[in-house]
Amino acid sequence: MNEILTKSPAGKHVKLADLAKTIRSKNAGTDKITFDIIFREKESYELVKASRRITRESIAKLFGIPVERISDFVEFDPAYAIKFTIYRSAPSGSPGERDIFGCQQYAPLLDIEIPLEPEHKN
Amino acid sequence: MARKKELRILCPNGHLGFAPTKEESFRIGAATKPDYYCCDSGSDDIGPAPLGADKSVSMYEWQKHDLELMLLAAREQGVPMIIGSAGDTGSNSRVDLYVQIIKDLAKKHRLPKFKLAYFYSEVDKAYIKKKMEQGIVIEGLDGRAPLTMEDLEKTDRIVAVAGVHPYIKALEMGADVIIGGRSSDCAVFAAPAIKEGFPEDLAYYLGKVLECASFCAEPYGAKETVIGTITDHDVKVTAMHPQQRCTIASVSGHAMYERSNPYYEYVAGGMLDMTNCRYEQYDEKTCRITGPKFIPVEGKVKVKLEGSGKVGEKYIGIAGIRDPYTIQHIDQVIDWASSQVKESFSGVDYHLDFKIYGKNGVMGDLEPVKEIRSHELCVIVEGIAPTKELAEAITLMGTRQLFYARLPEVKGTAGTAAFVVDEVLPATAAYRWTMNHVIPVDDPMELFEVKMIEVGGDPE
């Protein structure tokens, strides 16, 4: 079990970077960038999934893009991973390119706050 | 002929030649005597310039090193070797390059005669034009509109992405070594499995899991050998490096890598559906996978086309800014420089882009941090124009006008930007991915003609 989960008091928030093993971005073909958030343990993965802090809507808001620019959003249980993909504003390597491989676009995800306990219990 | 119960394919590298294959794990793998040596050597990840300019991005020595390792092991055992997407782009010149390397190596090592098959992937613009004139729609991928004549005109080089078809054909013709043009990574591995009679469901998955070599293993370490084993019931993938293992996490995690969706993989001829894949730890270094499904395309086979077109010549300028007042008004500074270029070069078809590091240089519009938190900024100016002279002039003016920015309250009136060099630097010409489309074909071999030659057996 993730140490953060066992040591942190209830009611607190933790950063996604402290829960996930891997947070990365990379080209998916010429026209998209894909983001992977991968957890080492099932508990962390389930906690983040249940928190609903990472959804199509929250991601669109974070990056300041319309939801339609997110082509795929998948919670991928076999790998304890959340994965989403966005359309680039221009194909990779076009004039104005800032990140040919799309590999430095994940940084804003690191600081997403995840509540340690579900806030709305049914 | 009795069919093998299982087929073992060795993959030494996720992108042959891009960085040299690690030899230790390769030799451990080769010692197990696999049935095939297969490797993919290309990617569209490297941007449109290599395809447009018809260049490799890998060092020739590294390409030769990797081909030599595979060729010697495969020839010693007398088993086939298959390379896809030769020389990074899979263009015709890259296939020729690899064919020549194989010939040179055969001579160098005095290898006995063997059959070398190769096929090109480039597609003539005139062929596409004719299809379009016949009313055939070249559908766009990833949200792109269907191809227009204008897109086609702007394209300098097109490669079609082969599926398993030319590889199976070459194997049926008795090839010992195959050098392929641009191909789906997974086809390079799926083709021999399908040719040997294994189920397509598992064969395509075998290709998917093997294509990036040790990227499906942990701990992370690229360019190490893995071996995939296919039977009628499952696929097993085993890491060859002494410290690496293929685990449920590493193999299922790899399904996501560089793909927009972890469940679906599209190739010429159909789609691999990994939704119901089951992963088990088979032994310490091996993960076993069952449950993938290959869904053949309904109707005509659609072959992916990648096209690159030149946009213009490119220069890069660099400027630093330290004055806090200027930093706070950086947008006005950029507007000033842009307007000066616009005034001087009206009528020229140019691109001018200012990347402001310290503000949003890496992420541009995607950057959520809106306020500037840095005490200094770096501005990279990218200027693209039809000729080198114009690109240099536009980039230089865009950069130098940052020095002459007109800000009413600025204290430092002797120059509003710091220069590392008082010039702009030439860059490789700018290209654009003009095509990411699919073309329907009656016969998938229509675009890929397999040629066969005999190599080796040179007199001493």
Task: Specify the pLDDT at position B460.
Answer: 58
Phi-psi sector, B39: left (phi>0), alpha (psi -120 to 50), beta: beta
Model pTM?
0.91
Q: For residue A19, is pLDDT > 90? A: yes
Task: Specify the pLDDT at position A121.
Answer: 47
Candidate from B142, B277, B366 with C-beta closest to A29: B142
* Whole-number average pLDDT of chain A: 91
In the beta sheet, which residues pair with residue B139? B438
Block residue for tokens 């390079």: B188
* Concatenated DSSP letters of A70-122: EEEEEEEGGGTEEEEEEE-SS-TT-TT-S-TT-TT--GGGTT-EEESS-SS--
Peptide bond between residue B219 and the one before it cis (omega within 30 degrees of 0): yes
Pick among A65, A94, A103, A112 to test the B interface (most B CBs inside 10 A): A94
Nearest-CA distance B299 → chain A (Å): 25
Task: Specify the pLDDT at position A6.
Answer: 65
B349 interfaces chain A, CB cutoff of 8 Å:
no
Count Cβ–Cβ pairs < 8 Å, chain A vs chain B.
134
Rounded Cα–Cα distance for residues B425 and B417 (Å): 17
* Beta strand spans in B13-89 (E): 36-42, 81-88
Contact list, A27 vs chain B (CB under 8 Å): 45, 258
Say whether B252 and A71 touch across the interface (CB within 8 A).
no
ipTM: 0.91
Candidate from A30, A99, A107 with C-beta closest to B436: A30
Exposure pattern of B86-121 as b/e (b: 16+ CB <10 Å)? bbbbbbbebbebbbebbeebbeeeebeebbbbbbbb
B386 interfaces chain A, CB cutoff of 8 Å:
no
B363 interfaces chain A, CB cutoff of 8 Å:
yes
Nearest-CA distance B187 → chain A (Å): 17
Rounded Cα–Cα distance for residues B149 and B147 (Å): 7
CA distances from B281 to B41, B214, B248, B252, B385 (A): 29, 17, 6, 11, 56
| The two three-digit tokens of residue B44, written as one number | 């569209």
Give B135 or A12, the one with higher predicted confidence: B135
**Residues within 8 A of B (CB atoms), A 50-69 only:** 62-65
For B333, what's the count of Cα atoms within 13 Å in the CB-facing half-sphere? 30
Task: Specify the pLDDT at position A84.
Answer: 97
If residue B313 lies in a helix (H) or strand (E), which one and from where to where? strand B301-321
Task: Specify the pLDDT at position A43.
Answer: 96
Candidate from B47, B362, B431 with C-beta closest to A104: B362
Task: Specify the pLDDT at position A10.
Answer: 59
Task: Specify the pLDDT at position A122.
Answer: 44
Strand order in the sheet with B81-88: B278-283, B286-290, B235-239, B226-230, B7-11, B36-42, B81-88, B177-180, B114-119, B450-455
Question: Which of B178, B172, B31 is closest to B119 using CA atoms?
Answer: B178
Task: Specify the pLDDT at position B209.
Answer: 96
Contact list, A96 vs chain B (CB under 8 Å): 351, 353, 364, 382
The rounded average pLDDT for each run of 10 residues, N- to C-terminus, in chain B (460 residues) is: 87 95 97 98 91 95 97 98 97 98 97 98 97 97 96 97 98 98 97 98 97 93 96 98 96 89 94 96 97 96 97 98 96 97 97 98 97 97 98 98 92 92 95 97 95 87
Per-residue pLDDT, averaged over A59-64, amounts to: 98
Q: For residue A118, is pLDDT > 80? A: no
